[in-house]
Amino acid sequence: MIYFDKVSKWYNGGESVALEDVTFQIAPHEFVSIVGHSGAGKSTLLKMLLAEDRPSDGTVFYESTDIHKIPRGRLPKFRRKIGTVFQDFKLLPNKTAYENVAFAMEANGRSDEEIAENVPQALELVDLDDKIFNFPHQLSGGERQRVAIARAIVNQPDIIIADEPTGNLDPIATYEVVQILKKINDLGTTVIMTTHNKGVIDELGRRVITMDRGRVLRDDESGKYVL
Ligand code: ADP
pLDDT at 227 over 70: no
pLDDT tens for each residue of 142-164: 999 999 999 999 999 999 999 99
Q: To the nearest 10°, report the CA torsion of 94, 96, 99, 100.
A: 70
How far is ligand 1, taken at its centre, from the CA of residue 44, in Å? 6
Ligand 1 atom closest to the Cα of residue 9 is 12
Cβ neighbours of residue 71 under 8 Å, at least 6 residues apart? none
Site residues for ligand 1, CB cut-off 6 Å: 11-12, 16, 18, 36, 38-44
Q: Which uninterrupted H or E stretch holds 83? A: strand 82-86
CB 209, CB 218: distance < 8 Å = yes
How far is ligand 1, taken at its centre, from the CA of residue 17, in Å? 8
pLDDT tens for each residue of 45-75: 999 999 999 999 999 999 999 999 999 999 9
Whole-structure pTM value: 0.95
How far is ligand 1, taken at its centre, from the CA of residue 147, in Å? 29
pLDDT tens for each residue of 94-114: 999 999 999 999 999 999 999
How far is ligand 1, taken at its centre, from the CA of residue 16, in Å? 8
Q: Which uninterrupted H or E stretch holds 209? A: strand 207-212
Q: Which uninterrupted H or E stretch holds 123? A: helix 112-125
pLDDT tens for each residue of 118-142: 999 999 999 999 999 999 999 999 9
